[in-house]
């Protein structure tokens, strides 16, 4: 039985190694920033393994070579001080620290460089998109100042393009992290932090808040959606100048849903150029994969969210709508309208 207990930690390690979400790991880098940081992790690990092996090798050698043997009665020669050894065990750690420090410092300057000048070789400006990321309790806002676009929860970016990010917060401290693309950076009230990232491949990259920011901190997820430049241009154009069907939906039920939205939601949520900014922009809500940052996108979850937001995301600022506020028929119409808010799939 005692051996079984010893095997439990190993079993748990093997079990947990199979857990995880695609594109949510710093150990599976998908962009140049993440690859630089992953290389530093590897370098640190190799140096630590080297030190561990050397120390254990010396330790094992000493306990074998200088162990007490049967019949030994003499006292070992008492010595102290060895200049050669002292130089060696001082020099080697310094060299190891330099091996860590030099690439760390070089990469730190590279990652802090927010310029888009291509350099003296070509002199051309690097393709880039600027995004201002604002953290709220408990959702994310993405503003593209050069494109006149504001999006909520899903950050669309073009592939093979440098994404220059400014980080802000409207309330408490949050932290922006897309493990597969770049390391974390804090969103601090009153302070603007900067970072950049790139995504060479199309895909959906999971992001998280990594700073304890309230009771629903663990539900403050978002997505970075990397698409080809043409698709991104279409998305940005439609977000800035939404298609007509968003303001004038087709179908009687969707039209009624638009009316419910205007009565109950538009003061906080925008669709196109109409509405408030207290909550996430809903212009392309129907294209999302999740609701409230973590619920699977379907009409049952959407209705459950609208009926009791506090139960599903404690501490959030969105009001709930019970039967007295929005009856069943109005709710069905609102759900159909929200589901119709699509700008790429039409």
Q: Which candidate, 142, 342, 150, places its Cα nearest to that of 243?
A: 342
User: 152, 143 in Cβ contact below 8 A?
Assistant: no
If one compares 1 and 294, the residue with the highest pLDDT of the two is 294
- What distance in Å separates the CA atoms of residue 319 and residue 96, rounded to the nearest whole number? 56
Q: Which candidate, 206, 130, 152, 207, places its Cα nearest to that of 176?
A: 207
Please report which confidence band the pLDDT of residue 336 belongs to, taking 50, 70 and 90 as the band edges.
very high
- What distance in Å separates the CA atoms of residue 170 and residue 133, rounded to the nearest whole number? 11
Residue spans of alpha helices (H) in the chain: 2-16, 32-65, 83-112, 229-240, 244-247, 252-264, 299-307, 309-312, 328-339
pLDDT for 114 equals 92
Q: Tokens for 177?
A: 């992290």
pLDDT for 80 equals 80
pLDDT for 96 equals 94
**Average confidence (pLDDT) over 20-33:** 84
Q: What is the pLDDT of residues 205-249, one digit of tens each?
A: 999 999 999 999 999 999 999 999 999 999 999 999 888 777 777
Please report which confidence band the pLDDT of residue 2 belongs to, taking 50, 70 and 90 as the band edges.
low
Model-wide pTM > 0.75: yes
Give the number of C-alpha atoms closer than 13 A to the C-alpha of residue 50, restricted to the C-beta side: 12
Q: What is the pLDDT of residues 92-150, one digit of tens each?
A: 999 999 999 999 999 999 999 999 877 555 567 889 999 999 999 999 999 999 999 99
Please report which confidence band the pLDDT of residue 3 belongs to, taking 50, 70 and 90 as the band edges.
low
Please report which confidence band the pLDDT of residue 17 belongs to, taking 50, 70 and 90 as the band edges.
low
pLDDT for 122 equals 59
pLDDT for 189 equals 96
Mean pLDDT score across all residues of the chain = 89
* Residue 131 phi, psi dihedral angles, 5° rounding: -135, 130
Please report which confidence band the pLDDT of residue 253 belongs to, taking 50, 70 and 90 as the band edges.
confident
E strand map for 116-172: 128-136, 139-144, 149-152, 154-158, 162-169
Comparing 1-5, 249-253, 280-284, 302-306, which segment has the lowest mean pLDDT?
A: 1-5
Q: Which residues pair with 139 in a beta bridge?
A: 136
Which are the contacts of 271, defined by CB distance < 8 A and separation ≥ 6?
242, 246, 247, 261, 281, 282, 283, 341
If one compares 263 and 82, the residue with the highest pLDDT of the two is 263
Q: Which candidate, 139, 114, 116, 138, places its Cα nearest to that of 128?
A: 116
- What distance in Å separates the CA atoms of residue 169 and residue 220, rounded to the nearest whole number? 13
């Amino acid at each position: 039985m005692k051996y079984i207990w010893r095997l439990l930690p190993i079993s748990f390690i093997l079990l947990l190694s199979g857990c995880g979400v695609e594109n949510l790991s710093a150990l599976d880098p998908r962009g140049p920033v993440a690859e630089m940081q992953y290389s530093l992790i590897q370098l640190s690990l190799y140096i630590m393994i080297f030190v561990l092996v050397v120390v254990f090798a010396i330790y094992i050698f000493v306990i074998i070579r200088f162990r007490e043997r049967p019949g030994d009665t003499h006292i070992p020669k008492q010595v102290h001080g060895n200049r050669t050894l002292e130089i060696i065990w001082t020099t080697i750690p310094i060299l190891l620290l330099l091996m860590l420090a030099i690439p760390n410092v070089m990469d730190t300057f590279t990652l802090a460089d927010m310029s888009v000048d291509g350099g003296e070789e070509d002199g051309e400006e690097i393709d880039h998109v600027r995004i201002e990321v604002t953290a709220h309790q408990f959702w994310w806002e993405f503003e593209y100042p050069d494109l006149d676009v504001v999006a909520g929860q899903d950050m669309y970016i073009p592939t093979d393009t440098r994404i220059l990010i400014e980080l802000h917060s409207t309330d408490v401290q949050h932290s922006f992290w897309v493990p597969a693309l770049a390391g974390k950076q804090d969103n601090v009230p009153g302070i603007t932090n900067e970072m950049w990232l790139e995504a060479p491949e199309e895909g959906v990259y999971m992001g998280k808040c990594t700073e304890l920011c309230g009771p629903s901190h663990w539900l403050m997820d978002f997505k970075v959606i990397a698409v080809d430049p043409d698709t991104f241009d279409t998305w940005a154009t439609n977000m800035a100048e939404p298609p007509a069907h968003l303001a004038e939906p087709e179908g009687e039920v969707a039209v009624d849903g638009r009316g419910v939205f205007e009565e109950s939601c538009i003061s906080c949520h925008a669709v196109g150029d109409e509405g408030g900014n207290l909550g996430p922009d809903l212009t392309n809500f129907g294209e999302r994969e999740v609701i409230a940052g973590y619920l699977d996108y379907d009409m049952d979850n959407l209705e459950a969210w609208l009926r009791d937001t506090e139960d599903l995301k404690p501490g959030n600022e969105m009001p709930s709508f019970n039967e007295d506020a929005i009856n069943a028929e109005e709710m069905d119409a609102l759900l159909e309208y929200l589901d119709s808010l699509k700008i790429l799939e039409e």
